[in-house]
Amino acid sequence: MLHSFTGGRDGASPFDRLVFDPSGNLYGTAANGGDPSCGCGTVFRLAAPKNFRGQWSQTVLHTFTGGRDGAFPIGGVIFDAMSNLYGAASAGGKGSCVGMACGTVFSLVPNHHGGWSFDVLYSFAGKGDGGEPFGVVLGRSVKLYGAAGQGGYFGGNCAPSNGCGTVFELTTTLGPNWLNKK
């Protein structure tokens, strides 16, 4: 066992994939735990011990508050070629999706102090753009793609208050400064 979550500040319920960095450290999300007033999840790193023998150590890179930053990251994270992390939080942000905000796409960029800088790249409104994103994948030309379980089309056999969901694309120039959403 590399880490046993306590449900406290370290997080709880790591549902999705983990990713390795070039040094052999693991990164992922925990959908719950973190901030005791919210329990809205964390992004974490498990640092590999020397020679991969001994105890791995966990560091929380971001604790979600359920506000502008998002909440409940049920998908994992991904790296780009510049070692920036990207992911999605299924709630929080802005908009209104069945009693809660509609979710965010976020980045974590390594800073010069050995820490990470968190930024919201996109906050879903729950209308035509979708809501409740489940995760992202990195495509060509520094684009992120993902699926959102709410929003989009609101007619036909879709739930009247939820919509049928969307598949989305976020476009950028190089780096974490996102310019527009398609």
What is the sign of the dihedral through the CA atoms of 114, 9, 121 and 81?
Answer: positive
Nearest to 40 by CA among 62, 64, 59: 64
- Which residue type, as a one-letter code, is found at position 26? L
Strands 104-110 and 85-89: antiparallel
- Which residue type, as a one-letter code, is found at position 98? V
Nearest to 122 by CA among 178, 67, 41: 178
Cα(40)–Cα(38) distance, rounded to whole angstroms? 5
pLDDT value of position 180: 38
What is the sign of the dihedral through the CA atoms of 23, 29, 33 and 35?
Answer: positive
pLDDT value of position 179: 37
- With a cut of 50, list the residues of the chain below it in pLDDT: 174-182
pLDDT value of position 101: 76
pLDDT value of position 106: 95
Tokens 């793609």 appear where? 145
pLDDT value of position 149: 86
Q: In the structure, how many helices (H) and strands (E) does the chain have?
A: 0, 12
pLDDT value of position 100: 66
User: Could you tell me the two tokens for 140?
Assistant: 């060509």
pLDDT value of position 65: 94
- Output the pTM of the full model: 0.88
pLDDT value of position 114: 84
Cα(87)–Cα(134) distance, rounded to whole angstroms? 9
All residues at 6 or more sequence positions from 103 whose CB lies less than 8 Å from its CB, including other chains? 70, 88, 89, 90, 91, 92, 93, 97, 123, 124, 131, 132, 133, 148
pLDDT value of position 37: 92
**CA-CA distances (angstroms) from residue 35 to 32, 43, 120?**
9, 12, 18
